Amino acid sequence: MFRFPVSLGGQGDNLKQTQPSDEQHHRPIMDEVDFFRSEKRDDQNVITEETHRLHVKRENSRVDDDDDRSMGINTGLNLLTANTGSDESLVDDGLSVDMEEKRTKIENTQLREELKKSNEENQRLKEMLSQTTNNFNSLQMQLVAVMRQEEDHHHLATIESKDKDTNRHEAPEMVPRQFIDLGLPSAEVSSDERITSRSPQSLLEDSSSRQRAKRVLEIEESPENESNGWGNPSKVSKHNASSSNGNGNAIDQSAAEATMRKARVSVRARSEAPMLSDGCQWRKYGQKMAKGNPCPRAYYRCTMAVGCPVRKQVQRCADDRSILITTYEGNHNHPLPPAAMYMASTTTAAASMLLSGSTMSNQDGLMNPTNLFARTMLTCSSSMATISASAPFPTITLDLTESASDVNGPTNNNPLMQFAQRSGFAELNQSGLPQMMGQALYYNQQQSKFSGLHIPSQSLNAGESVNAAMPANPNFAAALAAAITSIINGSSNHQNGSSNSSNNNVTTSSGDRQ
DNA sequence: CGGATTTGACCAGCGC
DNA sequence: GCGCTGGTCAAATCCG
C-alpha cells in the first residue's frame, strides 16, 4: 500500500531521490501517492495531498494510530490490505523497508480489488442472464399457451374429419414430403421462432393427428417398454394405425417419451479408436455383421444408471473405414456429467428438431433451456447434417468428417467443433468426434412424417426420399427447423412452397437431387 | 472374483 | 411360408 508509487510505472526511484529533503516530515511518499497527476508538485500540492490522505485514513481505522508515522501513504486501498503494525513499523524506521514485500502486498491489494470488481461484475452478469432467461422462457410459455389454445379451439371442429384421415396420416402420406418451402425470412431468426411462427392452422392440422397417435402409444405402450431403447419399430407402426382418444397433457408427454426413443442421432467422424468416449459409460452387449459392411456393428447400452434406455451403435463406414459412425438412440434417465451435457444437448436438439413437428406442444422441444442452447449451437453449425427417416427410424446425421480434417485449421468454422474444442473435448481434436452424445431423442409416433427423408448413402426410393444436406451452412439448424416446418405444414402446403430458400444456403433435396 | 466383453442363439419384422 | 436381416439375450470367456 505504501508502495503504490513503485507499482505505478517505476516511479519509486525518482521518488526516492526526492525523499531525502522531506524525509523528516514523513511526506516524501505523499508525492508518490498522487495517482492522478504526473507532474511534480509543489508544497501546496503536498499539503493538499496530506489533507486527502488524512481524509482517506479516517475511513481506515486500522491505521489511524499510525497516521503520523506511516508517512501518510494511505490511498484508501489500504482498506483491503492486511497490513500489520509491524509492517508500518518498518516504514517508521525508514531503514529496513522491504520493497519487494510491500510491492507484493500492493499487488495483492490490487488483485483483491480486481477480484472483488470481477465478482461484482460476474454477479451482475448472472443476474442479467437469469433475467433474460426468465423473460425468454416466459415468452416461450406464452407463445405455446396461445398456440395450444388455438389448437384446442380447432381441435373439436376438426376432430371428425381428422379421424377419417387418421390412417392416411401414416407413413405413406408423408413419404413424398420434401424440403422445398424453407421459407426462411431471415437467417437470423431462430429455429424455434420459425417452428412456432408457422400458421396456427397448419399447426393444428398436424398436431391433432399427432396427438391421437401419441395417445395411442400411451395406452398401448407400458412404461417399462421405454427401457428398451431401440424398441420395436413394427409395433410402433402398428400402434399408429390404432384409434385413440385424448386424455390430457400427461398422456401426451408419456406418449411422447414412449415414441421419441425411436429417433436417432448419428454422428460420422474420423477416428482410429474403436469407440470414442462421449462422457457416458457404455457396455457392449452385442455385435453383428451388418449387411453390406465388412466391419461389424457393435451395440452398446448406457450403464451410467440402472435401466438407462440409451443405446448406441458403433460401426465403421464401409467406404471409408477411418470414419466411425456412431448412432445414438434413447433418452438418458439420469443426470449426465457436465462434460457430457453439451454435446448430449446438441444431439437432443438435433433429435428434437427432427421431431419438433410432433412435439410442438412438448416443452422438451421448445422450452428446455438445454435444448435451446443446443439448438443455438446447431443453428451455427456448419457441419454436414442429413435428415433421414428411412424406415423405420428417423435419423439426423451430423457429418463431422470434413470438419475433423481441419478441425484445428484456421478455416474451421464449425461451431459445433469449436464448441467441443472450447469445452475441453480433447478427443474431439483427435478424432473429430464429439464426445457427448446420446441424450434424449424425442420422437413422436408420427415418424411417418419423415419417412420420406433419406440417408444419401442408402438406396433411395424415387419420389419418396428426401435428404437435406446443408454443407457449410452457418444456419444449418435454422434451415433444418424451417424444413421441418415445411414438412409439418402438411401436404397441402408443400406443393406451393417451391420458392425462396432465402439466404440460408440450404440445399433442398428432392427427387431431382437423388 | 466381479465386471466387461465375446459370441452364438434366439426373436421379430420384412420382403419375396 | 421361408429366408434374410437387425437387434437382443445370455452363457462363456476374458481381464484387472
Domain range list for chain A:
106-146, 258-355+375-400
Distance from CA(A139) to C1'(C2), angstroms, rounded? 58
Architecture, CATH, for domain A258-355+375-400: Single Sheet (2.20)
Question: A211: burial class by Cβ within 10 Å (0-12, 13-18, 19+)?
Answer: buried
User: Which residues have CB under 7 A from strand B?
Assistant: A 232-235, 237, 281-288, 298, 303, 391-392
Distance from CA(A291) to C1'(C3), angstroms, rounded? 14
Instruction: Using the CB atoms, write b or e for A425-434: b if 16+ within 10 Å.
Output: bebbeebbbb
Distance from CA(A324) to C1'(C4), angstroms, rounded? 26
Q: Which residue has the cell 398456440?
A: A147
Query: Above 80 in pLDDT, residue A106?
Result: yes
Residue A424's CB is within 10 A of a number of other CB atoms, namely 12
Distance from CA(A404) to C1'(B10), angstroms, rounded? 40
**Which positions on chain C have an atom < 7 Å from some protein CB?**
4-10
Residue A346 · residue A354 · CB < 8 Å: no
Query: What is the per-residue pLDDT across A287-316, written as a single tens digit (0 to 9) for each?
Result: 998 888 888 899 999 888 888 888 889 988
Q: Look up residue A194 and give its amino acid.
A: R
Distance from CA(A295) to C1'(C4), angstroms, rounded? 18
Query: Above 80 in pLDDT, residue A507?
Result: no
Protein residue at shortest CA distance from C1' of C4: A291
Distance from CA(A314) to C1'(B3), angstroms, rounded? 21
Q: Which residue has the cell 508518490?
A: A32
**Would you place residue A352 in the very low, low, confident or very high pLDDT band (cuts 50, 70, 90)?**
low
Q: Which residues pair with A396 in a beta bridge?
A: A265, A387
Distance from CA(A482) to C1'(C16), angstroms, rounded? 52
> Which helix (H) or strand (E) segment is A219 a member of?
helix A200-220
Closest nucleotide relative to residue A228's CA, C1' based: C8
**Which positions on chain B have an atom < 7 Å from some protein CB?**
4-9, 12-15
Distance from CA(A231) to C1'(C16), angstroms, rounded? 34
Closest nucleotide relative to residue A238's CA, C1' based: B13
Lowest mean pLDDT among A154-163, A205-214, A413-422, A462-471: A462-471
Proportion of chain A above pLDDT 90, given as a percent: 2
Closest nucleotide relative to residue A231's CA, C1' based: C7
Protein residue at shortest CA distance from C1' of B11: A232
Q: How far is the C-alpha of A306 from the C-alpha of A194, rounded, in Å? A: 38
Distance from CA(A432) to C1'(C15), angstroms, rounded? 30
pLDDT at residue A300, rounded to an integer: 92
Say what the pTM is. Answer: 0.43
A14 contacts: CB under 8 Å, gap ≥ 6: none
Closest nucleotide relative to residue A234's CA, C1' based: B13
Classify the phi-psi angles of A22: left when phi > 0, otherwise alpha if psi is within -120 to 50, otherwise beta. Answer: alpha
Phi, psi at residue A439, to the nearest 5°? -85, -175
Across A75-85, average pLDDT: 37
Residue A178 · residue A466 · CB < 8 Å: yes
Lowest mean pLDDT among A72-86, A178-192, A281-295: A178-192
Protein residue at shortest CA distance from C1' of C8: A286
Q: How far is the C-alpha of A294 from the C-alpha of A348, rounded, in Å? A: 30
pLDDT at residue A365, rounded to an integer: 38
Q: In the predicted model, what is the mean pLDDT of chain A?
A: 51
> What's the Cα-to-Cα distance from A258 to each of A219, A223, A254, A363, A501, rounded to whole Å?
10, 7, 6, 15, 34
Closest nucleotide relative to residue A392's CA, C1' based: B13
Q: How far is the C-alpha of A270 from the C-alpha of A66, rounded, in Å? A: 69
pLDDT at residue A353, rounded to an integer: 66
pLDDT at residue A150, rounded to an integer: 63
Closest nucleotide relative to residue A330's CA, C1' based: C7
User: Which residues have CB under 7 A from strand C?
Assistant: A 228-231, 285-286, 288-292, 297, 299, 311, 313
> What's the Cα-to-Cα distance from A24 to each of A15, A27, A41, A94, A225, rounded to whole Å?
15, 8, 18, 10, 89
Distance from CA(A334) to C1'(C16), angstroms, rounded? 28
Query: Above 70 in pLDDT, residue A213?
Result: no
Query: What is the per-residue pLDDT across A404-462, written as a single tens digit (0 to 9) for each?
Result: 444 333 344 444 444 444 433 434 333 333 333 444 333 333 333 333 333 333 333 33
Residue A492 · residue A164 · CB < 8 Å: no
Classify the phi-psi angles of A307: left when phi > 0, otherwise alpha if psi is within -120 to 50, otherwise beta. Answer: left
> What's the Cα-to-Cα distance from A125 to each of A118, A214, A347, A373, A374, rounded to whole Å?
10, 41, 28, 18, 21
Q: How far is the C-alpha of A410 from the C-alpha of A428, rounded, in Å? A: 16
List of E strands, A357-410: 384-388, 395-399
Across A170-197, average pLDDT: 33
Distance from CA(A103) to C1'(C3), angstroms, rounded? 85
Q: How far is the C-alpha of A429 from the C-alpha of A440, rounded, in Å? A: 25
Residue A268 · residue A356 · CB < 8 Å: no
Distance from CA(A458) to C1'(B16), angstroms, rounded? 21
Query: Above 60 in pLDDT, residue A250?
Result: no
Classify the phi-psi angles of A178: left when phi > 0, otherwise alpha if psi is within -120 to 50, otherwise beta. Answer: beta
Closest nucleotide relative to residue A283's CA, C1' based: B4
Q: Is the pLDDT higher at A362 or at A311?
A: A311
